[in-house]
Structure formats: C-alpha cells, structure tokens
Chains A and B, each alone.
Chain A
Amino acid sequence: MRIGAVTFPGTLDDSDTLRAIKASGAEAVALWHGDADLRGVDAVILPGGFSYGDYLRAGAIARFAPVMDEIIAAARGGMPVLGICNGFQVLCEAGLLPGALLRNAGLHFVCRDQWLKVENNTTAWTSRYDAGAEIIVPIKNMDGRYAATKSTVDELEGEGRVVFRYTGGNPNGSLGDIAGISDPTGRIVGLMPHPEHAIGALTGPSDDGLGMFLSVLDSVVAA
C-alpha cells in the first residue's frame, strides 16, 4: 500500500503527513510538484501550507503544477485524494471539489484545537469513524471560510457530502459550519483542519486524525 504526499513550493505539512501515513502502516511516498509522476501510489494527499505564498489566491497557482495534471486524471479515475488545509484549497481551485475557501470572517489567523463532527462515515477517508463521532484536531489557517453558491451548499447537504462540521464554535464563518466536503463518489475529500497533526498524544491533542489515514487503507484494499 503506497500513499503519496505532495510537496509544492511553500508546503509546510508534508513531513507530518508522511509521518501519519507511516503510522497507519502504509508506505509513505514523497511526491514532487514538478514531476508529472505519481510513482505508483494507491492514494494521494495534498498537505497544508502556503503553496506559492498563497499568491493570487490560496491554491490558485499550485493547481497548475505538473503533478496536478496526474492527480486530476487519477482522481477522475477513482483514486482516493485527500486535501488538507491548503490541499483543500488546491482541490477547490482545481475543480475537483466545489466552492472556495476565503479569508476568515474574523480576519484572524486561527490556530487552535478544534472539535469536528464526522457527518459522513461512508467516504474513502472516514470509514473508520463512527457516524456522528466528535473528534478534536488542530486547525491553523487564514483562509478557511468555506463559501459556495446556495445551490451548491444545498446539493452538498442533500447528498450527505458535508463530511466534517465544526462543533463548539465556527472558527471562520464557514457556511453551514462546513469544515470538510467530498465529491459525489466519496473518494475525493477536503477539509481545513489537520488530521496529520493529531495522530498521537506526544505531538497532538489526540490520535483522532489517524482514522483518516487508516480509512483510506480499507478503501484501497476493498477496491
């Protein structure tokens, strides 16, 4: 089982993502933004950070990296893809997920441990969670306010594609307290909070994030 994590210029959380992949028991494969090569991975994670300094818009330039052509094609073919924070922004800019992430409503960089409710435990990245489970993982971003047209939000809600919802306070003004969403197949998921920073008590507030890395192993085995 090979799970890749992409490094763009300005990516920060690739190391922790690779560490979390290893902790799940999979082989962690470093992928490079400039290489149009997925190195035979079974799933891909786009980690957080500030690719290209968030110039223009968060994720807007990374979306055109050579590795993204491969990821977009593989994702459309059914490969599981997870975007965390800046990775979520990249997936939205690439059109793999609907909507956009805008400047936090309070204009603060929010950095704290955040409670989330797992609203959908049937996606490729959430099957290890109980339905309605509440988990705590770090959140740290400036542009985390989920925005989309009303029809898009209605569609996401109606189809159960709101995967994670903020509980205990909305940190950024996201519509519907949305923290993470999926594509219609449940194989492409993006969320603003950071599961890779919550895989053990030594370095995080919990090990609640590990479930996402374990879930995708199940989905790849089942596929």
Chain B
Amino acid sequence: MARVVVDVMPKPEILDPQGQAVARALPRLGFDGVSDVRQGKHFVLEVDDAVDDETLHRIAEGFLANPVVEEFVVRRVQA
C-alpha cells in the first residue's frame, strides 16, 4: 500500500472568491501580513502498489481536478 496526496488548486487566472473571503477575514481576526489566500482541495488516497504513476495522473486529471479551471499535483508521500 502507498499513500498518495493530490492537491488541486484553482488556476492562477481563475477568480477565487472563497480564498479572497478568507484573506479579508484575517485582519478582522487580528492577523496582519497575509496578502493573499487561494483555496483548493487536498485528497489523500491509499492505493495498492499495483497502481502506477500514470494511473494516478489519470485519476487526478480525469476526476479529482477539472483541468479547465484547476491545476493539480500528485505526490507519493509514503512508500
């Protein structure tokens, strides 16, 4: 078994109103110095050893992320 992490983020050119709302809330909570926040998704997958990197890429590109508006990174974090 292996643990695989897939991080999905809105592309830089895509407006992220949720991230903006978080960024605007921080000063009200007393946290200064955070100029920008982008909000995405973090998936943790437990996969069989038989699942290769190409398959993981297809899972991320074809389902976990929508490549029209999102970018993604696939990482094996535990062998």
User: Which positions in A face B, CB cutoff 8 Å?
Assistant: 56-57, 60, 92-93, 98-100, 102-107, 145, 147-149, 173
Contact, CB under 8 Å: B66 / A103: no
User: Which positions in B face A, CB cutoff 8 Å?
Assistant: 10, 14-15, 17-18, 21, 63-64, 66, 68-69
- Number of A-B pairs whose CB atoms are under 8 Å? 34
Contact, CB under 8 Å: A106 / B17: yes
Residues of B within 8 A of A99 (CB): 68
- How far does the alpha carbon of A104 sit from the alpha carbon of B15 in the complex, in Å? 10
Contact, CB under 8 Å: A148 / B68: yes
Q: Which of A92, A107, A149 contacts B17, CB < 8 Å?
A: A107
- How far does the alpha carbon of A141 sit from the alpha carbon of B29 in the complex, in Å? 30
Contact, CB under 8 Å: A100 / B17: no
Contact, CB under 8 Å: B15 / A100: no
- How far does the alpha carbon of A106 sit from the alpha carbon of B17 in the complex, in Å? 7
Contact, CB under 8 Å: B21 / A147: no
Q: Which of B10, B17, B68 contacts A104, CB < 8 Å?
A: B17
- Nearest chain B residue, comparing its CB with the CB of A107: B17
- Nearest chain B residue, comparing its CB with the CB of A149: B68
Residues of B within 8 A of A145 (CB): 15
- How far does the alpha carbon of A173 sit from the alpha carbon of B18 in the complex, in Å? 13
Contact, CB under 8 Å: B14 / A60: no
Contact, CB under 8 Å: B64 / A100: no
Q: Which of B18, B64, B66, B68 contacts A107, CB < 8 Å?
A: B18
